[in-house]
Amino acid sequence: MFKHLFSIIFIILVSFTNIMARDLYVDYLDGYLDVKSGNSWNPIDIGDVISENDIIKLSDNGYAELLFENTKITLDKDGTYEASYLIGQITKADTWGIKGSAFAKLFNDDKFESRQSAVMGVRGDPQDEEEITWVDDDVEFLEEGKSLYMDGEFEDGLAILEEGSEWFGSNYDEIMFYKALCEYETGRNKEMRASISEMDPESDVEYYGDYVLLKGNLLIESQDYLKAEELFDRYLSDSESRGAEQMVYLMSAFCSIELNQMDLAEYKLKKAISNDPSSEIGIKASQVLGSL
C-alpha cells in the first residue's frame, strides 16, 4: 500500500515539475552554442534543451533560434546570455502581442488585389498598349513572384524573386520584401532577415507600413530595441506614413520600456490608445499602461 502511495506521489511530483519547467529549445543554429551548467561549458546543437538556470554562449559569428512554448527569440550576435532573461523577454513580447518573425505569416492571405503595387498599372489597359510601350526590367519578376506567393507557391515564387533581385531595378525593394516572405514560408529565416536588412524603401510606397512592422518585429525578436525604436520613430514622424500607426506606437512603447524610457513609453501607449481605444491594440495598450 505504501509503495503504491509513493508511486502516486512521485507521478504527481514529476507532472508538477514538467508543468513548471521553463526550458528553451534550440530550433536552428549556425556557429557554436555552448551551455554552462554548474561550472563547465558544454556544446549544444539543434534539438537540445536549455534549462531556465543555464547560461549560454554564442560564438563564431553565430545565429541561433530558440523556442519557448512555440514563441521564438533569435540570437544573431555573439555573446553570453542568461536563459532566464531570454525566457522573460519572450514571455513579455508574447504578452504584448509582438510576434517576431512569425509576423511574416500574416502577409500570406487571399487579399491579392489589396496588396498590388502601383507598378502593376505600368502596362496600362489593352487599349493603352500603343501609348505605353515600356516597363522596368524587373517588373515581370515582381508580378509573377507576388502572384506565386499569394497562391502559396513559395518555392517557385522565391526562385522568380531571387532572379528579379539580380536586376537591381526600380522595384528592387518590393522584390526583396516578397522574397523575404517566401523565405519565411520555406523555413529560411536567416535569409529572410538578410533580405529585410538589404531593403531601404521610401516611405510613400504602398507596402511601407508592412515593412516597418515586419522589420520591427524582427529587431525586437533579436532584442535590438534601439534600432527598432529608431525605425518606428522614422515611421511615426512621417506624415505620409499611416495605416500601421497604432501598432507601431505599441511596439515602440515596448522598446522604450526595454531602454528604460518610462515616460516616453507612457506617452506612446496613450497615443496608441487614442488612435482607437476599442480596437484589440487599443485595449492591449490600456492594459499595459495600467500595469506600469
Q: What is the CATH number of the domain that holds 289?
A: 1.25.40
More confidently predicted of 37 and 171: 171
CB 252 within 8 A of CB 232: yes
pLDDT category, 108, cuts 50, 70, 90? confident
pLDDT category, 60, cuts 50, 70, 90? very high
pLDDT exceeds 90 at position 9: no
Q: How far is the C-alpha of 251 from the C-alpha of 219, rounded, in Å?
A: 11
Domain co-membership, 178 together with 233: no
Q: State which of 28-37, 107-116, 118-127 shows the largest mean pLDDT.
A: 28-37
Domain boundary residue among 45, 78, 96?
Answer: 96
pTM attached to this predicted model? 0.80
What residue has cell string 495605416?
243
Number of domains in the chain: 3
Domain boundary residue among 80, 96, 112?
Answer: 96
pLDDT category, 8, cuts 50, 70, 90? very low
pLDDT at 136: 65
17-26, 76-85, 208-217, 253-262: segment of lowest average pLDDT: 17-26
168, part of any domain: yes
* Average pLDDT value for residue range 12-22: 47
Domain that holds residue 86: 2-96
Per DSSP, the residues of 62-124 read EEEEEEETTEEEEE-S-EEEEHHHHHHHHHHHHHHT--GGGGGGGG-SS-TGGG--GGGGSS-
pLDDT category, 18, cuts 50, 70, 90? very low
Q: How far is the C-alpha of 54 from the C-alpha of 56, rounded, in Å?
A: 6
Domain co-membership, 8 together with 79: yes
Domain co-membership, 40 together with 119: no
pLDDT at 239: 65
pLDDT exceeds 50 at position 17: no
Pairing type for strands 49-50 and 79-82 reads unpaired
Q: How many CB atoms are located within 10 Å of the residue 37 CB?
A: 12
Can you state the angle between helices 245-258 and 280-291, rounded to 10 degrees?
A: 20
pLDDT at 126: 41
More confidently predicted of 43 and 130: 43
pLDDT at 286: 95
The mean predicted confidence, pLDDT, of the chain is 84
- Please give the share of the chain, as a percent, with pLDDT higher than 90: 64
Domain co-membership, 82 together with 149: no
Domain co-membership, 196 together with 105: yes
Domain co-membership, 70 together with 131: no
pLDDT at 15: 40
H helices then E strands: how many in the chain? 11, 6
Q: How far is the C-alpha of 128 from the C-alpha of 5, rounded, in Å?
A: 85
206, part of any domain: no
Tens of pLDDT, residue by residue over 69-91, are: 878 889 999 999 999 999 999 88
pLDDT category, 21, cuts 50, 70, 90? low
209, part of any domain: no
Domain co-membership, 103 together with 188: yes
Backbone phi and psi for residue 240, each to the nearest 5 degrees, phi listed first:
-80, -20
Domain co-membership, 22 together with 57: yes
CB 154 within 8 A of CB 160: no
Tens of pLDDT, residue by residue over 242-282, are: 789 999 999 999 999 999 999 999 999 999 999 999 999 99
141, part of any domain: yes
pLDDT at 129: 44
Domain boundary residue among 41, 63, 96?
Answer: 96
